[in-house]
A and B are shown apart, each in its own frame.
Chain A
Amino acid sequence: MTIQDIPTPRVGLDAPAAARSVGLSKIYGAGDTRVVALDAVDVAFPRGEFTAIMGPSGAGKSTLMHCMAGLDSVTSGQTYIGTTELSSLNDRQLTALRRDEIGFVFQAYNLLPTLTALENITLPMDIAGRRPDQEWLDRVIDTVGLRPRLAHRPSELSGGQQQRVACARALAGRPEIVFADEPTGNLDSRSSADILSFLQTSVRAMGQTIVMVTHDPVAAAYADRVLFLADGRIVDGMSAPNRERVLERMKAFDAALGA
């Protein structure tokens, strides 16, 4: 099988997208140092779906996520969160959008060391000056199993626990979409499994939309769908993935790239 045989992924136009991009390009530098990180990417992340983005290093996975989440500017094209086009927003509006509509989970746990677990979880709402929805918050906390650790500071938590706090924070505000950047990159396999099943549960049981960048086929297997990125373009998609099929597809890339 060659790359040309792989069908272009079906862009979910029939279901309302939580986030999408149209002709999204991101180019760094100019002249000799010009690097095309994203090359006219059209993608949509349907509501209530768990999407994994895979690809070799330098494929543009993180850049795609940063652009989609309004953390980075785009060179051309549009990105939407719900119906809001991001390039039309100023910094203040963008900040508010990130706060209210987007949840983040980073590879390095990225918690504030001075705040307790609970305070970290409610931080985005505290910043906005809103009271958290207590019922929902309880449900999130119970789902990640953090109830006994709420008063602890990050330095008193294990890596897996810290990442669960980060996940709870991303979900607590019921954002339109959650972006997770290699959320299990620093974790052992057991903690990884905990985090991934939690993310899966939040999609299946709570109707959350999650986009996860990963290079781990095991992690990707928890997703509803996998998009493969190479050289700044989406080159393949796979629904209902499992570890073997993802691995196989990755090998095919390596072979194609190696050829």
Chain B
Amino acid sequence: MWRATLRNLLAHKLRLALSGLAIVLGVAFVSGTMIFTDTLSKTFDDLFSSTASDVNVEAASAFDSGLEGSGAVSTVSADAVDEVLEVEGVAAAAGYVQAEGVYVLDRDGAVLDTGGAPGIGISWEPDRQLSSSTLVDGRAPEGPAQVALDVDSAEKAGYALGDSVPVLTTGPRVEAELVGVFTFGDTGGSAGASLAAFDTATAQELFGEPGRFDGISVLAADGVTDAQLRDRVAAALGDGYTVRTADEQAAALAGDFQEGLAFVEVFLLAFAGIALFVGTFIILNTFSMLVAQRTRELALLRALGAGRAQVTRSVLAEALVLGVVGSAVGLAGGFGVAAGLRGLFGSFGLTLDGGLVFALDTVVWAVAVGVLVTVTAAYLPARRAAKTPPVAAMRDDHVAVERSLFRRTVVGSVVAVAGGAALVAALVVDDGSTAASLVGLGALALLLGAIALSPVLARPFLRGIGAALPRLFGTAGRLARENAVRNPRRTAATASALMVGLALVSGFSIIGASTSASVDALVEESLGADYVVSTAVGAPFSAEIAEQIRGIDGVEAVTQQRFGQAAFDGAPTFISAIDADTLDSALVLDYVSGGTEGLRDGGLLVDEDTAASNGWSVGDSVPAVLANGRPLDLTLGGIYAANQAAGTVVVSLDAFTAAGGEPLDRFVYVDLAADADAGAVRSQLEGTLEPYPVVTLKDQAEFAAEQRGFVDQLLLIINALLALSVIIAVLGIVNTLALSVIERTREIGLLRAIGMDRRQLRSMVRLESVVISVYGAVMGLVLGTVLGLALVQALATAGISRPVVPAGRMLLFLAVGAVIGVLAAVWPARRAARLRVLDAVATA
């Protein structure tokens, strides 16, 4: 039996390659994702473990929300450094300053591209034992006019020692002479982030607080362990400090980051899963067809005495070999995928140094997934093959009996209806997260139901759209239609792969279009200012910018908005701090009770949901604590309808600043005087902002466009990843057609003999392909529209308030479906047209 299995595999190299390809692609994507995320996390692990000090001291945070951007940094005083130095077993200790939002500008005055990685400012520690950076050229920066940069940034910007480097700090913009370049940590990489180092006093001046530090690096004397030192330092300093060993510090830093990475991994693996899911169809379909074609051969084996189990085993063994080989090739392809992803992230500026990480996990998972999927997909056809009666071998024209679709219809309908019910329920449920999970479950059920029902729907659909084919394309059209409906299961399974891909693509398109429309509406409804000044990614920037804008003639009002976190009753919440005086000119808040007046003098504004869930009403006293531990005594002065720009909680800028909130703006709203010359003011504004390339000036339309840009970019990435499943679907169509052509060799020969020319034959195969892919595309678009709209409804509370179906894009997808059909048919059609008539007629 084994010999027969192997012989059979080798005898059909082409079929083998086709069905193997689906496995290869699926496994390549899964393993590529794993390799890439491993590489990503190793890069950051290296980065975070690159601390030279043995123990690190920071001021403790009042609460740990686990979220970035507390908006109120706690610092340690110079006295604390002295206290640490007194501790027994401390060999050395020094305070350090470190801040994000310090950007290096290149020669053209543009911000050095860090691809989303932060621009970091640090103080240069003169005691080299305490520093994790290594000077590779030049000397240490001294005084306010000298700076050192990390090697990558200096190289990217093309700066040499002695050059004057403009640096945007969280305070003023400065020009400093480049006196040194350094590498960071053990690997020398900074994962794309730019590092600008000044001497400690300058760093405190530019992006810290004079006389205060962000933390203290402590070095242990010989014979003192890190843990001992930690305990002694902690005991000496008392409460209010977080003291960690180097390992704990690395773990804490990496921990935050790992959560972000885990998201990336889940995101990528989700697409790998989709690709594999789609690939499963193709493998299933391929094995079904191969077994159907080999009915006689298998029946002959049965007639010669092979047992059912033996036949099943032989088909499964084929799948096993194919799965192992496909997984191995896929694993190699995974390296390519990982390298591609690395290149992609590199082009966004996130440079990953060092080689790709190839963990044993990756091999185990990739092979397990590849083999398991293949063998599972082959099981049903194998069992069916074993049931082939031996008499089939004797008969010339054994036709596999078309199995009833009744069970499919019942199961598919039940699952689909359940899915639909879940979607409807999601619309009724108030709670956002419940609704989202209902939509998720409903979507999955609807998708599975549609897959089960697709053979049932195929016949009426194909007859319907196929009705036009004979009229348009004559006999070739009619034969194409008949061939497509001949085996609804096969057609449906082929189309299902495309359906899944296009359902997701169109669903995301609807979400994207709805989000864009909602952004437009939001900007139009809630933005009162003429201009918005902000960074592209909502990063913080120096408050000096707002100050300078205030000085421009024709500017009526400038409103600064800052973000932070505060704990209400111990629950950390994002808050937004806005000038009480000019709020009304910047944002349009729709008050349910109270008003902007209520924000003054320690007032607080919240949206309806927040007020309702906390049981607050106007006039209530609401105490809060900032991350630095300082209290805010607030009184609720207004409740407004949900507003994305304002957020859920608004405090006044004065109160926030007084409590030690970070003096960094996120948004600055500019309102012009009624009689101002808009053009002149704008050019003045632009002139003012020129030294600060990190921020841009946008009017309402431009601001909306910038916001939409993120949506479009995200959509582009998602579609690029989904393209893989579409490619696999195309391969599936190629596979089905190629195998159908082989199966119908005699028919094709007959058609050629009685006068069908090659062109007509090609068009027959092509039309069949188009009919199948259009079926898949239509099913996918209908499904995608339902799912997309359901998800938009479920996300209504998250601000996606305008459901939009982008009709033009949907039509484009349909056209893409048809084009996919044409492309998929190219090779099988040529193969069919090249069949020699006589061989075809003579093939018994």
Cβ-based interface call for A126 (8 A)? yes
| Interface members, chain B 455-511 (any A CB < 8 Å) | 474-475, 478-479, 482-483, 486
The answer to whether B757 and A112 have CB atoms under 8 Å apart is no
Cβ-based interface call for A98 (8 A)? yes
Least CB separation from A97: chain B residue: B755
Which listed residue, A72, A108, A127, A155, touches B756 by the CB 8 Å rule? A127
Which listed residue, B478, B750, B757, touches A95 by the CB 8 Å rule? B757
Cβ-based interface call for A123 (8 A)? yes
Which listed residue, A106, A111, A127, touches B841 by the CB 8 Å rule? A106
Which listed residue, B399, B754, B758, B844, touches A127 by the CB 8 Å rule? B754
| Interface members, chain B 427-479 (any A CB < 8 Å) | 474-475, 478-479
Q: Determine chain B's interface SS by DSSP, over half rule.
A: helix
The answer to whether B757 and A92 have CB atoms under 8 Å apart is yes
Cβ-based interface call for A47 (8 A)? no
The answer to whether A91 and B757 have CB atoms under 8 Å apart is yes
Cβ-based interface call for A114 (8 A)? yes
Known: A114-B482, A114-B483, A114-B486. A123 touches B838 (CB 8 A): no
The answer to whether A72 and B838 have CB atoms under 8 Å apart is yes
The answer to whether A169 and B754 have CB atoms under 8 Å apart is yes
Cβ-based interface call for A160 (8 A)? no
Report the minimum CB–CB distance from A49 to chain B (whole Å): 23
**Which chain B residues lie closer than 8 Å to A30 at the CB level?**
none
The answer to whether B754 and A123 have CB atoms under 8 Å apart is yes
**Which chain A residues lie closer than 8 Å to B758 at the CB level?**
91-92, 95
Q: How many A-B residue pairs have CB under 8 A?
A: 70
**Which chain B residues lie closer than 8 Å to A96 at the CB level?**
755, 757
- Size of interface on A: residues with Cβ below 8 Å to B: 28
The answer to whether B755 and A99 have CB atoms under 8 Å apart is yes
The answer to whether B752 and A95 have CB atoms under 8 Å apart is yes
Cβ-based interface call for A197 (8 A)? no
**Which chain A residues lie closer than 8 Å to B841 at the CB level?**
71, 106, 110
The answer to whether B483 and A124 have CB atoms under 8 Å apart is no
Give Cα A95–Cα B756 distance, bound, in whole angstroms.
7
| Interface members, chain A 38-90 (any B CB < 8 Å) | 66, 71-72
The answer to whether B838 and A110 have CB atoms under 8 Å apart is no
**Which chain A residues lie closer than 8 Å to B760 at the CB level?**
127
**Which chain A residues lie closer than 8 Å to B752 at the CB level?**
95
Which of B482, B752, B753, B758 is most buried by chain A, counting CB atoms within 10 A of its CB?
B753
**Which chain B residues lie closer than 8 Å to A155 at the CB level?**
399
**Which chain B residues lie closer than 8 Å to A112 at the CB level?**
479, 482, 747, 750-751
**Which chain B residues lie closer than 8 Å to A114 at the CB level?**
479, 482-483, 486
Cβ-based interface call for B396 (8 A)? yes
- Size of interface on B: residues with Cβ below 8 Å to A: 25
| Interface members, chain A 180-236 (any B CB < 8 Å) | none
**Which chain B residues lie closer than 8 Å to A113 at the CB level?**
486, 747
The answer to whether A71 and B753 have CB atoms under 8 Å apart is yes
Give Cα A66–Cα B746 distance, bound, in whole angstroms.
16
Known: A112-B479, A114-B486, A155-B399. A127 touches B838 (CB 8 A): no
Give Cα A129–Cα B396 distance, bound, in whole angstroms.
33
The answer to whether A104 and B757 have CB atoms under 8 Å apart is no
Cβ-based interface call for B819 (8 A)? no
The answer to whether A104 and B838 have CB atoms under 8 Å apart is no
Give Cα A183–Cα B579 distance, bound, in whole angstroms.
97
Cβ-based interface call for A115 (8 A)? yes
Report the minimum CB–CB distance from B757 to chain A (whole Å): 4
Which listed residue, B475, B747, B755, B756, touches A100 by the CB 8 Å rule? B755
Give Cα A98–Cα B399 distance, bound, in whole angstroms.
30
The answer to whether B479 and A98 have CB atoms under 8 Å apart is no
Instruction: Render B386-427 as a binary contact track against A, CB cut-off 8 A, 1 for contact.
Output: 000000000010010000000000000000000000000000
Give Cα A72–Cα B840 distance, bound, in whole angstroms.
12
Give Cα A99–Cα B844 distance, bound, in whole angstroms.
23
Least CB separation from A159: chain B residue: B397
Known: A72-B838, A110-B746, A127-B475. A98 touches B754 (CB 8 A): yes
Give Cα A71–Cα B841 distance, bound, in whole angstroms.
10
Give Cα A112–Cα B746 distance, bound, in whole angstroms.
9
The answer to whether B755 and A127 have CB atoms under 8 Å apart is yes
Cβ-based interface call for A128 (8 A)? yes
Least CB separation from B480: chain A residue: A114
Cβ-based interface call for B826 (8 A)? no
Report the minimum CB–CB distance from B72 to chain A (whole Å): 75
Give Cα A253–Cα B399 distance, bound, in whole angstroms.
41
Give Cα A106–Cα B837 distance, bound, in whole angstroms.
13
Which listed residue, B482, B486, B750, B755, touches A110 by the CB 8 Å rule? B750
**Which chain B residues lie closer than 8 Å to A100 at the CB level?**
755
**Which chain A residues lie closer than 8 Å to B486 at the CB level?**
113-114
Further contacts, 8 of them, CB under 8 A, given A108-B396, A119-B478: A71-B837, A92-B758, A95-B755, A95-B758, A106-B750, A112-B747, A114-B482, A127-B754
- Sort A-B residue pairs by CB-CB distance and give the 9 closest, nearest first: A99-B755, A114-B482, A126-B475, A95-B757, A110-B750, A124-B754, A127-B475, A127-B756, A98-B755
Which residues of A are interface residues toward B (Cβ below 8 A)?
66, 71-72, 91-92, 95-96, 98-100, 104, 106, 108, 110-115, 119, 123-124, 126-129, 155, 169
15 contacts between A and B (CB under 8 A): A71-B753, A72-B838, A92-B758, A95-B752, A95-B755, A96-B757, A99-B755, A99-B756, A113-B486, A114-B486, A123-B751, A124-B755, A126-B475, A126-B478, A127-B755
